[in-house]
């Protein structure tokens, strides 16, 4: 258990339009001890998966088509039952404009590509600890 976060009990959704990225992130999550890892291939299927599966956390790419990561989060925040689901954005872009857009959408953290397991574990722990404290 990492700082009060029970990884084995977590359900995490990975949204990325590139299958190999989803596969790599899923393997890392399972190696970190995450209990359930779900996948979606774009923002629309991501919203459906969150509504159906109610994951504890979403890790989402920003650049996807037809609905990008920001579009996904806007849709997510509009659904009362899942609006507070913590989101970590996966991106190669951490410029000021992207960070400002993320703040407006209450995104928990950014994770730079390529993803490394220690950074992934740290971000998950921090975002879930902050989300728990905000309840």
Summarize pLDDT for 22-81 with one digit per residue, the tens. Answer: 999 999 999 999 999 999 999 999 999 999 999 999 999 998 888 899 999 999 999 999
81-104: per-residue pLDDT in tens?
Answer: 999 999 999 887 777 787 777 778
Angstrom distance (rounded) from CA 91 to CA 4: 27
Between vectors from CA 59 to CA 16 and to CA 97, what angle results, nearest 5°?
Answer: 85
Please provide residue 8's backbone torsions phi and psi, each rounded to the nearest 5 degrees: -65, -25
Domain that holds residue 71: 11-101+110-133
Residue 92 lies in a domain: yes
Residue 6 lies in a domain: no
Residue 60 lies in a domain: yes
Burial class (CB in 10 A: 0-12, 13-18, 19+), 68: middle
Domain count, the chain: 1
CATH number of the structural domain spanning residue 96: 3.40.50.2300
Residue 42 lies in a domain: yes
Q: Are 114 and 93 in contact (CB under 8 A)?
A: no
Q: What pTM does this model have?
A: 0.93
| Residue 114: count of CB within 10 angstroms of its CB | 10
Residue 22 lies in a domain: yes
Residue 21 lies in a domain: yes
């Amino acid at each position: 258990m990492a700082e009060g976060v029970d990884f084995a009990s977590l359900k995490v959704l990975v949204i990325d339009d590139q299958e190999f990225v989803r596969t790599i992130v899923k393997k890392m999550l399972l190696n970190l001890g995450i209990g359930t890892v779900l996948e979606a291939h774009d923002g629309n299927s991501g919203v459906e998966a969150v509504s159906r599966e109610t994951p504890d956390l979403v890790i989402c790419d920003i650049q996807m088509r037809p609905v990008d990561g920001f579009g996904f989060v806007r849709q997510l925040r509009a659904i009362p039952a899942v609006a507070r689901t913590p989101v970590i954005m996966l991106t190669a872009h951490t410029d000021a404009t992207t960070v400002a857009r993320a703040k407006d959408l209450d995104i928990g953290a950014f994770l730079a590509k390529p993803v490394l397991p220690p950074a992934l574990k740290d971000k998950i722990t921090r975002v879930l600890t902050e989300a728990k404290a905000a309840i």
